[in-house]
Amino acid sequence: MSIKPNDPQLKSWIDVKTGSDFPIQNLPFGIYSDKHVKHHACSAIGEYIVDLYELAQHGYFPFLGVSPEIFQQDSLNPFIALGKAKTNAVREKLSDLLNSNNTELQSKKDLFSVFFKKQSDVTMLMPVKVGDYTDFYSSIDHATNVGTMFRDPNNALLPNWKHLPVGYHGRASSIHVSGHSFHRPKGQQKPADAELPVFGPTKLLDFELETAFIISKPTAPGESISTDKADDYIFGMLLFNDWSARDIQTWEYVPLGPFLAKNFASTVSPWIVTLEALEPFREKGYVQDPKVLPYLEYKGDKNVNINLQVFIRTEDGHENQICTSNYKYMYWTMEQQLAHHTVNGCNMNVGDMLASGTISGPQPHEYGSMLELTWRGTKPLKLQDGTERKFINDHDTVIIRGYCEKDGVRIGFGDCAAKVLPAN
Ligand code: CA
C-alpha cells in the first residue's frame, strides 16, 4: 500500500530544519489556543502550526461536507469521528497545499499569518476527549524485569503473560497534555520494616515510558474487532507517561492492581501522528512462542520502529538523557491489544486511549522506568549537576521524545513533558 503524503521525495515550501519532528511526511493533528483563538484543530509543519479551521473557512476542504466548525471544537473527537476516508483526505490535501510544487497557498502571502503560527507562540491543548483509558503491560523486557525484582527471576513472567496482552482500566480524568505540572501525590505506604502502613508524599515517584493509540471508530456492545480490521479503528499514536508512585503501588496493588499509585496524573504529547504516517516504519513483530490463540493471530508487519528517549530536566534547565528505547520491543502489537480488548464484546468509542505499557528494551540503558534503570534504587543515576536520582525529585521535569527515521525521512511526536511540584 503506497500512501501519497508519505513519499520521501516530497518537499515543503515551508522551511523544515534537519531533525524537526514535523516534515511534510508527518502532518499530525492537534488542538491549539492563543490569545485570539480559544481552540482550533491544527496540523504541524516545521516550526509552524497550520490552522485547520482557517483553511476550512477559506474553502480548502469542500470534500468534508461539514461546517468548518468541526475544527473549532475543544477536541479532535468530532473530526476523528468523520472516519478515516475523510481524515486521510485532509492529510492529503495538506500535503498538496504544503508541497513546494504547489503555489495555491504559497502565493497567498497576505494570508500566511492567518493560516500559520509559530509553534512557540501557541499553547497546545489536550488533543482528544478521552472517554476510557486502558493501560497494557506488553513489553516483555519490562514484564521480565519487574517479575524478576518483585517475584522470582526463574519465573519472572506469570503463566498468562505470553497468552494474552495483560491490561487494566485506568483513569481518564487525570490525563493531561504536555506542559502541565502536578504535585507529588500522597498516599499509604508500608515500609518493609514497619508493622502498619504510614501516610505521606510518595518517596518513589517514577515515570513509565509508553505510547498510546486513539480509537477512530466506535463499536457496538457485543461487537469484536479482529486483528485484520484493527487498523481501521486506530486513528494514530502519541507519547504517554504513566506516572507511578511505586511505594503506594507496592502496598495497594494486591489483588486488583494499581489504583492511587497511577490515577493522579498521566502525560501525553500534544500531536496525534496518524497510523497512516507511521506505515513506512512498520516492522515485523516479536516472534510469539508459544503460539497465540487464533483470535490473536495476525498477518503482516505490525510492529513499528519508533525511537524513544527520556530526559530529566533539572531546575537549572539541563536536560539529562536517562534512557533510549524503541516501540519495536513490544511483544504484543496494537492490533492484538485491540482484538483482545474487544473479544468479550467490550465496546469502543472515538477518543478512547489505549496505552502500551512501559516500553523497555533488552539492554540496561533501554529500561523505560526509574524502577528498572536504578534497579529499585540500588544503582542511582548520576546527573550533569552532580546530583543522583533513584526516583524522580520535586522540580524535575520528565520529557519523553519519540521519532521514526527511514529513507531520509524523520517524523516525530513533539515533547511529552511534565514537571513534578512538591506535595501539597
Ligand atoms: Ca503503565
Same domain, 141 and 221: yes
Same domain, 13 and 161: no
Residue 157 grid coordinates = 513472567
Same domain, 243 and 347: yes
DSSP 255-286: TT--STTTTT-EEE-S-BEEHHHHGGGEE---
Q: Where are the alpha helices (DSSP H) in 122-245?
A: 140-150
Please give the distance, rounded to the nearest whole angstrom, from the Cα atom of residue 159 to the centre of ligand 1. Answer: 20
Give me the pLDDT at residue 2, please: 85
Q: In the chain, which residues have pLDDT < 50?
A: none
Give me the active site residues, please. Answer: 142
Same domain, 91 and 151: no
pLDDT in tens, 237-284: 999 999 999 999 999 999 999 999 999 999 999 999 999 999 999 999
Q: Check residue 381 and give left, alpha or beta (phi > 0: left; psi -120 to 50: alpha).
A: beta
Distance in angstroms (rounded) separating the CA atoms of residues 379 and 399: 21
Name residue 272's amino acid: I
Same domain, 262 and 359: yes
Same domain, 211 and 295: yes
Bridge partners (DSSP) listed for residue 238:
212
Bridge partners (DSSP) listed for residue 147:
none
Question: Quick check: bond before 78 cis, omega within 30?
Answer: no
- Asked which of 91, 125, 159 is the last residue of a domain, the reply is 125
Give me the pLDDT at residue 108, please: 96
Mention every residue, 6+ apart, whose C-beta is less than 8 A from residue 107.
none
Protein residues placing their CB within 5 Å of the ion ligand 1: 135, 208, 242
Please give the distance, rounded to the nearest whole angstrom, from the Cα atom of residue 208 to the centre of ligand 1. Answer: 6
Same domain, 285 and 166: yes
- Asked which of 125, 151, 177 is the last residue of a domain, the reply is 125
Name residue 159's amino acid: P
Give me the pLDDT at residue 236, please: 98
- CA distance to 41, 63, 80, 94, 215, per residue, from 236 (Å): 15, 22, 10, 17, 8
We report the CATH number of the domain holding residue 184 as 3.90.850.10
Please give the distance, rounded to the nearest whole angstrom, from the Cα atom of residue 167 to the centre of ligand 1. Answer: 9
pLDDT in tens, 375-421: 999 999 999 999 999 999 999 999 999 999 999 999 999 999 999 99
Closest to 335 (Cα-Cα) out of 303, 292, 374: 303
Burial pattern 319-346, b for ≥16 Cβ within 10 A else e, equals: ebebbbbbbbbbbbbbbbbbbbbbeeeb
We report the CATH number of the domain holding residue 8 as 2.30.30.230
Claim: this prediction has a pTM higher than 0.95: yes
Q: Domain containing 209: what range?
A: 133-421
Closest to 61 (Cα-Cα) out of 105, 26, 28: 105
- Asked if 240 and 212 count as a contact pair (C-beta separation under 8 A), the reply is yes
Question: Quick check: bond before 255 cis, omega within 30?
Answer: yes
Distance in angstroms (rounded) separating the CA atoms of residues 38 and 69: 13
Please give the distance, rounded to the nearest whole angstrom, from the Cα atom of residue 357 to the centre of ligand 1. Answer: 4
Please give the distance, rounded to the nearest whole angstrom, from the Cα atom of residue 304 to the centre of ligand 1. Answer: 19
Please give the distance, rounded to the nearest whole angstrom, from the Cα atom of residue 89 to the centre of ligand 1. Answer: 34
Same domain, 35 and 140: no
Distance in angstroms (rounded) separating the CA atoms of residues 398 and 405: 23
Distance in angstroms (rounded) separating the CA atoms of residues 211 and 216: 16
Please give the distance, rounded to the nearest whole angstrom, from the Cα atom of residue 105 to the centre of ligand 1. Answer: 43
Please give the distance, rounded to the nearest whole angstrom, from the Cα atom of residue 238 to the centre of ligand 1. Answer: 15
Same domain, 199 and 101: no
Please give the distance, rounded to the nearest whole angstrom, from the Cα atom of residue 99 to the centre of ligand 1. Answer: 39
Closest to 29 (Cα-Cα) out of 13, 45, 17, 12: 45
Distance in angstroms (rounded) separating the CA atoms of residues 308 and 400: 7
